[in-house]
């Protein structure tokens, strides 16, 4: 069965070609940073063009399996790629100052961002458990290195170490789940697994069910669902500020993209079992994420725990099964943009390569940098799920799916947690606007320098959050053709 | 004969499960980064054993192919993991994760 359609992997190929080009040009020409910028931009443009071509192919009734059934070209895969491309462009802009500051090692950093994006894009297109594993590792290993890429920072090293050990642990759990699923069904391809489970009455499903549970646990680590979230706060706090937003958003989008294929296609037959499992994880994530976020004194750790809660909201929607996929991608896309926007503001405050970001640094930010403060405030409000922002629409869809799926208790838990979450989101807003900044003897009103790349990210993030919060129609329409 | 073959694969898979649990326990209980990392490798090898045993039981080549991919990924992880451990050791002169306590809150 030779069925290679290069189009179904074209965006990833463009990004990897871009990564190779960056490295090779660096070896031979030792160019200034802007040359890397042009090559990266060209790679993103080519990847974007490939995604457009994929949409056209899909619109013409094309698509389907390729590469021996390892990859699928379906609307979900194409839409996930589009979301990840936006995240990658924003993430690269946000990280640019940090990357340029790496000097001779800049090419490494740039190519790692490109390769990580390609890996997570592949996760959304993979329909074979082995392929999902490889895609996951392509993305994750690149992120481990990015977390520790600033060598002078002990916090970065520590973040890289923790991320690496727990990430490798999670990957091993995930692929053991794949191995057990293979042992039970004789297939690693999700469509073959689906066919096997539909065609045969499985006498002893225990091995398959354990395998499925381990697949979910492994992916749960990657999307920072509780109780598998312990690495996230440390990594977000210690990694260089510029890449954290990209790191957090890309891993979450990739993880959920793969989880949707695994559960909705491969194990659709066992939906009764995994719905209940996801509901428990979702409730734990929402409650633990919210409660732990309240006590934080570091903005990045607070955002990490809020990310745990958001993973919980996404899982809340997923309990409903395939019908929830509509809202899932809207939530993932808009939350990613908020997250990158929030971390762009964090980058402005703590410096491009800095670690840590205590609440005190944000006192009086409203006067020091009106743009950063306004966007950070907007993203906080959107994350809390206030109406007229994309956060509200995303959350509403998740709750609606879960309610229709019969998980009313989960919706009630989610609503209660959302109310509690106002406290820590608004605490930051209050700090920025109503508390004078006179810590450490520095001038409280000294304007904060805002690099132009970060300003773009902030403005884009704010625009998406507001415009699609008020008129969600176009984006919803685009992402729910999935 | 067929029954014997199935029992054999089951035994291997049980062994793999035990290895996997040992690796998991090692990762969760030990505090030396190198030992923790070795535990992860043990877990991946348990995965490989499961794949091979299942491939044998199913008479399917797919599981053996999967092992090759897992091996490659494990090698890539070694490269990055050891680099991170060396980088930490250079700064702190220790490979114990108990000393990695700068980040908390």
Write down the pLDDT at residue A4: 74
* Spatial distance between the Cα atoms of B41 and B34, rounded to a whole number of angstroms: 11
Q: Is A176 on the interface with B (CB under 8 A)?
A: yes
- A234–B47 C-beta distance less than 8 A: no
Q: Which residues of A touch B13 (CB under 8 A)?
A: 183
In a domain, A1, yes or no: no
Q: Which residues of A touch B14 (CB under 8 A)?
A: none
In a domain, A398, yes or no: yes
Share the mean pLDDT of chain A: 92
Residue from the list B51, B87, B97 with its beta carbon closest to the beta carbon of A151: B87
Q: Is A165 on the interface with B (CB under 8 A)?
A: yes
* Spatial distance between the Cα atoms of A324 and A329, rounded to a whole number of angstroms: 9
Nearest CA in chain A to B60: A186
- B80–A164 C-beta distance less than 8 A: yes
Is the pLDDT reported for residue A171 higher than 90? yes
Q: Is A221 on the interface with B (CB under 8 A)?
A: no
Helix then strand then coil, in percent of chain B rounded to 5, is: 85, 0, 15
Give the domain ranges of chain B. Answer: 2-97
How large is the average pLDDT for residues A333-359?
A: 91
* Spatial distance between the Cα atoms of A315 and A309, rounded to a whole number of angstroms: 10
Q: How far is A355 from chain B (nearest CA, A)?
A: 9
How large is the average pLDDT for residues A281-304?
A: 95
Contact A91, A246 (CB under 8 A): yes
Q: Is A32 on the interface with B (CB under 8 A)?
A: no
Q: What is the largest CA-CA distance in chain A?
A: 72
Determine which of B21, B56, B84 to mutate to test the interface with A (most A C-beta atoms within 10 Å): B84
| Mutual angle of helices A271-294 and A206-222, in 10-degree steps | 30
Nearest CA in chain B to A137: B73
Who's near A442: CB < 8 A, 6+ residues apart?
none
In a domain, A191, yes or no: yes
Determine which of A135, A151, A175 to mutate to test the interface with B (most B C-beta atoms within 10 Å): A175
Least reliable range by pLDDT among A70-84, A174-188, A355-369: A355-369
- B66–A176 C-beta distance less than 8 A: no
Q: Is A172 on the interface with B (CB under 8 A)?
A: yes
Write down the pLDDT at residue A322: 82
Number of H helices, E strands in chain B: 3, 0
Write down the pLDDT at residue B98: 74
Is the pLDDT reported for residue A46 higher than 50? yes
Q: How far is B2 from chain A (nearest CA, A)?
A: 16
Q: Which residues of A touch B86 (CB under 8 A)?
A: none
Confidence of residue B53 (pLDDT cuts 50, 70, 90): very high
Q: Which residues of A touch B58 (CB under 8 A)?
A: 186
Q: Which residues of B touch A154 (CB under 8 A)?
A: 91-92, 102
Q: How far is B17 from chain A (nearest CA, A)?
A: 9
Confidence of residue A374 (pLDDT cuts 50, 70, 90): very high
Who's near A440: CB < 8 A, 6+ residues apart?
none
Q: Is B92 on the interface with A (CB under 8 A)?
A: yes
Confidence of residue B104 (pLDDT cuts 50, 70, 90): low
Is the pLDDT reported for residue A1 higher than 50? no
In a domain, A114, yes or no: yes
Q: How far is B38 from chain A (nearest CA, A)?
A: 10
How does strand A64-66 pair with strand A71-73?
antiparallel
Q: Is B37 on the interface with A (CB under 8 A)?
A: yes
Q: Is A11 on the interface with B (CB under 8 A)?
A: no
Least reliable range by pLDDT among A146-155, A165-174, A417-426, A450-459: A146-155
How large is the average pLDDT for residues A74-96?
A: 95
* Spatial distance between the Cα atoms of A294 and A289, rounded to a whole number of angstroms: 9
Who's near B66: CB < 8 A, 6+ residues apart?
A130, A178, A179, A182, A188, B51, B55
Contact A266, A260 (CB under 8 A): no
Q: How far is B14 from chain A (nearest CA, A)?
A: 11
B96: helix, strand or coil: strand
Is the pLDDT reported for residue B105 higher than 70? no
- Domain range holding A106? 6-479
Is the pLDDT reported for residue B94 higher than 90? no
Q: Which residues of B touch A232 (CB under 8 A)?
A: none
In a domain, A389, yes or no: yes
Q: Output the DSSP codes for A438-457.
A: -GGG--TTPPPP--HHHHHH
Q: In CATH terms, is domain B2-97 a member of 1.10.287.3510?
A: yes
How large is the average pLDDT for residues A198-220?
A: 92
Total number of domains in chain A: 1
Would you tell me how many other CB atoms lie within 10 Å of the CB of residue A93? 23
How large is the average pLDDT for residues B26-53?
A: 94
- ipTM of model: 0.92
Q: How far is A273 from chain B (nearest CA, A)?
A: 22
- B105–A297 C-beta distance less than 8 A: yes
Q: Is B60 on the interface with A (CB under 8 A)?
A: yes
Would you tell me how many other CB atoms lie within 10 Å of the CB of residue A412? 13
How large is the average pLDDT for residues B56-82?
A: 94
Instruction: Compare A478 and B82 and report the one with higher pLDDT.
Output: B82
Q: Number of A to B CB contacts under 8 A, please give it.
A: 127
- B105–A237 C-beta distance less than 8 A: yes
Q: Is B15 on the interface with A (CB under 8 A)?
A: no
- B104–A234 C-beta distance less than 8 A: yes
Q: Is A188 on the interface with B (CB under 8 A)?
A: yes
- Rounded to 10 degrees, the C-alpha dihedral A325/A330/A333/A339 comes to -110
* Residue A72: closest CA among A125, A149, A132: A125
């Amino acid at each position: 069965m030779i069925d290679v359609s290069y189009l179904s992997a074209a965006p990833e190929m463009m990004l990897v070609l871009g990564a190779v080009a960056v490295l090779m040009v660096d070896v031979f020409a030792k160019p200034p940073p802007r040359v890397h910028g042009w090559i990266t931009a060209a790679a993103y443009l080519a990847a974007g063009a490939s995604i457009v071509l994929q949409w056209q192919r899909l619109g013409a009734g094309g698509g389907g399996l390729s590469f021996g059934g390892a990859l699928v070209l379906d609307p979900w895969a194409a839409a996930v790629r589009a979301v990840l491309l936006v995240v990658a462009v924003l993430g690269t802009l946000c990280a640019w100052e940090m990357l340029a500051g790496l000097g001779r090692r800049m090419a490494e950093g740039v190519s790692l961002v490109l390769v990580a994006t390609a890996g997570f894009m592949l996760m959304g297109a993979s329909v074979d458990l082995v392929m999902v594993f490889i895609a996951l590792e392509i993305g994750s290993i690149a992120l481990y290195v990015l977390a520790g890429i600033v060598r002078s920072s002990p916090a970065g090293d520590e973040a890289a170490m923790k991320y690496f050990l727990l990430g490798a642990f999670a990957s091993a759990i995930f692929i053991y789940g794949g191995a057990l699923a293979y042992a039970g069904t004789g297939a690693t391809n999700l469509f073959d697994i689906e066919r096997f489970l539909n065609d045969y009455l499985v006498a002893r499903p225990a091995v398959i069910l354990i395998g499925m549970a381990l697949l979910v646990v492994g992916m749960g680590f990657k999307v920072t669902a509780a109780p598998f979230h312990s690495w996230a706060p440390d990594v977000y706090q210690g990694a260089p500020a510029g890449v954290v937003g990209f790191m957090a958003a890309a891993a979450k989008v990739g993880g959920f993209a793969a989880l949707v294929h695994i559960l909705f296609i491969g194990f659709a037959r066992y939906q009764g079992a995994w719905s209940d499992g996801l509901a428990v994880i979702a409730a734990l994530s929402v409650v633990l994420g919210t409660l732990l976020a309240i006590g934080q004194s570091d903005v990045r750790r607070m955002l990490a725990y809020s990310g745990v809660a958001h993973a919980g909201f996404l899982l809340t929607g997923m309990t409903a099964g395939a019908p929830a996929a509509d809202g899932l991608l809207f939530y993932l896309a808009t939350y990613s943009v908020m997250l990158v926007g929030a971390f762009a503001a964090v980058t402005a405050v703590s410096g491009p390569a800095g670690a840590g970001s205590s609440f005190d640094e944000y006192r009086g930010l409203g006067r020091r940098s009106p743009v950063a403060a306004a966007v950070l405030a907007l993203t906080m409000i959107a994350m809390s799920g206030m109406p007229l922002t994309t956060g509200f629409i995303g959350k509403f869809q998740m709750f609606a799916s879960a309610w229709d799926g019969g998980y009313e208790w989960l919706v009630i838990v989610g609503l209660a947690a959302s109310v509690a979450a106002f406290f820590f989101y608004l605490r930051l807003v209050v700090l920025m606007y109503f508390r004078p900044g006179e810590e450490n003897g520095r001038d409280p009103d000294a304007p904060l320098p805002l690099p132009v790349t970060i300003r773009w990210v902030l403005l884009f993030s704010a625009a998406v959050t507001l415009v699609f919060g008020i008129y969600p129609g176009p984006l919803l329409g685009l992402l729910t053709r999935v | 004969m067929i029954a014997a073959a199935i029992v054999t694969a089951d035994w291997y898979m049980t062994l793999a499960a035990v290895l996997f649990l040992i690796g998991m326990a090692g990762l969760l209980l030990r505090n030396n980064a190198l030992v923790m990392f070795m535990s992860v490798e043990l877990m991946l090898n348990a995965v490989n054993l499961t794949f091979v045993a299942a491939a044998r039981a199913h008479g399917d080549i797919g599981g053996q192919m999967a092992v090759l991919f897992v091996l490659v990924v494990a090698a890539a992880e070694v490269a990055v993991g050891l680099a991170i451990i060396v980088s930490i050791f250079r700064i702190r002169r220790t490979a114990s994760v108990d000393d990695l306590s700068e980040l908390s809150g």
